Structures are given as C-alpha cells and as structure tokens.
Amino acid sequence: MKQIKFIDLQETNIIHASQIKIELPSQPVHYYRHGWQSWSLAAWTNLNPFPVQMPAIFHPLQVDDEHVFNRTPHGSWLGAVEFEDGNILLLGALTTDAHVFLVDGQLMGQADASGGDWFVAYGCEQDVFEEYAAKLGDRFGRIKKNGIPRVWCSWYSLYTTIDEKILSRVFDELSGLSFDVLQVDDGWQMNIGDWDANSKFPSGMSSLAEKIKSTGRKAGLWLAPLIATRSSRLFRQHSDWFLRDERGRLVSAGFNWSEQIYALDTTHPGVTEWLTALMKQVRAWGFDYLKLDFLYAGALRGKRYKKMPREAAFRQCLQVMRDAMGADAFFLTCGTPIFPALGICDAIRIGPDVSHAWERHRDAHLLYNPSIPGTRNAIRTVVHRLWLRSLIHIDPDVAYFASKENSLTPEQKTLLQDLTYICNFKATSELPQWLTTDEREQVETFLNADPKIEQKSRYVFHLDGRPADFTSAVSLPLWPTGLITLWATFLGWLGGFPAVLRILKKFDDKSLKRRRANL
C-alpha cells in the first residue's frame, strides 16, 4: 500500500502500486462517482451514504454487483473529490480491474492485478479530466475520430414488434432523410443466444441487409453475443460454456425477456471460436454497423476456464470480436464496462437508455434507480462522461422529435438534442408516419447541423452561442423517508420476483401491440 500526503503531490503524478491512499488536505464537498458500465450512474454527488438501487434482481445488468452494497462513495477505475474552492483532486487507474473509494478522509485506489499505474492530479476540473483522458489514450489507444454515422434504429419506435414487412416499409418511407445507417434492433433473432432469423423474417438476414443497402444506406444490426437465456438452443447444447461461481453455480447476468439470463465464459476456447464465427456470419449477411449489447456479462465475477482478471478477460474477448468483424466494420458497444472497451471499439454508449418519458416516480423516488431507462437518467450520466469524447465516439442514445407516442416536453427534447450535438453522435428512432411536416424538417436539420460547441461550466454549454444548461437534469432524487420508505422497500422486494416482472411485461406487450396496430 502506497500512502501519500497531499502536500507531497506535484501538479500531476503517475504512481505504480496495486493499492494507494492519498490523504486529503481538507474535507471535500462532493465526490465524483463513476459507474462500471454504460448504464451505471456517473455523477457528482454529496458524501452521504448512497441508497442501494432496487430491485436487486437487476443489479447484474445495471451496476457492478461486486460493490453495489458498499455505502461509502466509490466508483470504477477513478474517483475525484471537489473542495470548497472548486478545485478537484482525481485518482484514476491507468489499467483495468481497479476501483476507487473515499474512506476516512482519504482517496483509496485498489487494483485487482499485482500492480498498476495510477494518475493523480489536482486543479481545475476540465484540465484534470482532459489530462487524465490523454493518459488513458496513451495506455489504451485512441479511435480515429472520423466517419461518424447518422443512425436510424428500430428500437424506440417498434421495440421487439419488428418484422420483415414493417421494416421494409419504414426503410422506404425514410427516403429523403440524411441517415447513413439503418439499424435493426432486438426482435429479429430466434432467441437470446440463438442468432438466426426468426419466423418474422422469412427471407433471412442477408435479404434484410440487401433491402437496407438498396436505399443507399449501410446496414446495422443489434445483437447481445455474451448472454443467453436458459431456453436458448445455445444454453441447452453448451451449458459448460457459461460462467459459474466457485461452487459451480451459474452466475446470473440479470433478468430480461421474462427470463433469467446467463453469461458466457469468454475465455473458454469453444466460446471464442463461436464468437468469431458469429461475427463473421453477421458481416457475411451484409451488416457493416454492429451494435453489441449487454456486454457487461463478459466481465462478471466468476470462475473462468482461463484464470485471469475479469475485465482483462473481457477486453481480450472484445479484441477477438473486433478482429473477426474486421476493421472496416463500425463497432458500437453498449452495456459495456467503460475502460476495457477503450481503444478497441469505435463507439461506446455512455448512459442508460432514453425513454419517451422524462422520469418515472416509481423508478426514481421509490426504487431510487438511476440506471433504469429514462431520459433524465440518460442525460445525467452522459453529461458526467463527456470527458471521454477526446478518446472515442460517445453515444448518448437517440434524440426525439415527434410529439406522437412521446410525453417529453419541447424543452426536455431540446436538452436531449443538444446533448447529442455535444457528443456528435446522432441517432433517432421515430417512424416517418409519426412526424409532422415540421418535425420531419427538424430531423433533417438535426442530422446536418454542426454547431460550434463551447463548454462554459460543468453543466452549461454554448452551441453556436446559444446556451444549453443541463443543471435541471443532473440532480438526484431525495431519498424516501417515513412510511414511504416502507412502501419503497416493499416495491423493491416485489420487483425481485420473476413472476411479477412477467406480469408487468405482459402489460408492456399489450401496449406495443396497440402501437403496432396503428402503423
């Protein structure tokens, strides 16, 4: 353990140690929490104990399950404290498999490997994070910042109700809008783990890619290659490929699609061979833009075929898939641990999913869940990860324009659109028939705009001189108190039962069927 006093620090330092402690010169006022993966909270918060978000059944797919019950301020790979004068002190790892805690007036870094390098800096927030990003680029590599595609994806309009006929019609109706990629999202596959076209796509995936290309766009495809459901053919035929704990029990990767999901052991040679073949197959179908989702599963704690740190194993797996899909494919990672993906993929989703709703009272104030889909949740975390934009393309998720099927106010839509400009990663999902003539013109203007971005303060930017202030979106909800705490606890407990989640999904599915009936 290296113990360092603040007065011993120079302006910046690189320190080699598996564990490090830095004594703070005074009591800080805020702590920068950096979540583990795309959807995990990143934010400046106060120093109070943090509530455990609920329901617990979602912990594997929303947070780092290893640290979720730690009540001290902490975060993955880095932590920073802000003092009364506005200056910050940052302790950040320059390796994977590391965590930072604020304990007893000290910043403490801990690396899982036998040793690692740490970056330490004190000063203006923008300068400190800028230098940290530069050091990370030196260690992990940088992506060439060119060829950023403008994307339409099927998810936020159609969700899993997509089929060949509907998508073909939508692709034709998108003519005249300046999209570079049309991306097919969840709903095309046989099962999670079985990545072949289902009965809704009788002509097959090559035909679907060809249809997209006939419109003059590149074909994009969503898949989640590192997870599978128990009902999948992959799980039935290769249950030995899946991650297990020290007692031989399957490691949960969370609950979704009304099923328990499990994580592939990416160090297993059979899995490596299968992933390589899958990436090559998707490219052979004709898809050039690949969105790989739920990738956190590759870095869950468990007993692997090959003994190595979990994030190092995940990074190795990403490289295998990158090599298999080819350097000319555009590779977007989602639900991914952030640092292990740097230098390998082209883009990283840096926040939770957006939603046609700003915030749900149940999720925000009762379950205290900042990782669940919602536009406010997405904006909050994305704003706090903008410092990554010098390293890699950062994806804030889609922007909204239509008033149909959407409860966001015009001001909330504008905030999301402005954040997309700042990230310089433009995507939408709305159906052409939902857009009024004016809204369609707004989409086209959005796709072609290139405003000059200036950061004025932590949450205020100017876009061609016009202010964009995200202050209203970044605060966290107040904790429930009194009898409301009992109700919140009950809801969190109830939400941990798969049967309850299946019932809720049936209501969602009915809503989707009504939406589809209106197409």
Convert the pLDDT of each residue in 366-394 to its tens digit. Answer: 999 999 999 999 999 999 999 999 999 99
CB-based burial of residue 112 (10 Å sphere; 0-12 exposed, 13-18 middle, 19+ buried)?
middle
| Dist CA 468 CA 97 (whole Å) | 35
| Residue 115 pLDDT | 75
pLDDT of residue 146 exceeding 70: no
Domains of the chain with bracketed CATH: 2-140 (no CATH), 151-229+265-474 (3.20.20.70), 483-517 (no CATH)
Cα atoms found within 13 Å of the Cα of residue 358, Cβ hemisphere only: 12
**pLDDT computed for residue 221 by the predictor:** 98
Q: Give the tens place of pLDDT for each residue, 153-185.
A: 999 999 999 999 999 999 999 999 999 999 999
Per-residue pLDDT tens digits for 422-479: 999 999 999 999 999 999 999 999 999 999 999 999 999 999 999 999 999 999 998 8
- How would you list the strands of the sheet with 12-16, edge to edge? 12-16, 117-123, 88-93, 78-82, 30-34, 42-45
Q: What is the pLDDT of residue 10?
A: 62
Q: For position 6, what pLDDT does the model report?
A: 65
The single residue listed with the structure tokens 């060119």 is 146
What would the mean pLDDT of 261-270 be, rounded to a whole number? 98
Q: What are the tokens at 354?
A: 């957006």
pLDDT of residue 511: 72
Q: Using 50, 70 and 90 to split pLDDT, how confident is the model at 518?
A: low
- Of the candidates 44, 112, 97, 111, the residue with the CA atom closest to the CA atom of residue 73: 44
- DSSP letters, 363-430, are IIIIS--TTSS-HHHHHHHHHTTGGGGGTSEEE-------STT----HHHHHHHHHHHHHHT--EE--
Least confident of 3-7, 84-88, 347-351, 467-471: 3-7
Q: What is the pLDDT of residue 478?
A: 86
Least confident stretch, 7-11, 201-205, 322-326:
7-11
Q: Average pLDDT over the chain, rounded to whole?
A: 94
Using 50, 70 and 90 to split pLDDT, how confident is the model at 50? confident
Query: Which pLDDT score, from 0 to 100, does residue 299 have?
Result: 98
Average pLDDT over residues 320-334: 97
Strands (E), 112-172: 117-123, 151-153
In this prediction, residues 91-113 reach a mean pLDDT of: 95
pLDDT score recorded for residue 463:
98
Q: Are 64 and 37 in contact (CB under 8 A)?
A: yes
Residues of the chain with pLDDT > 90: what percent?
88
Predicted pLDDT at 4: 72
Q: What is the pTM of this model?
A: 0.96
| Residues 354, 430: Cα–Cα separation, whole Å | 13
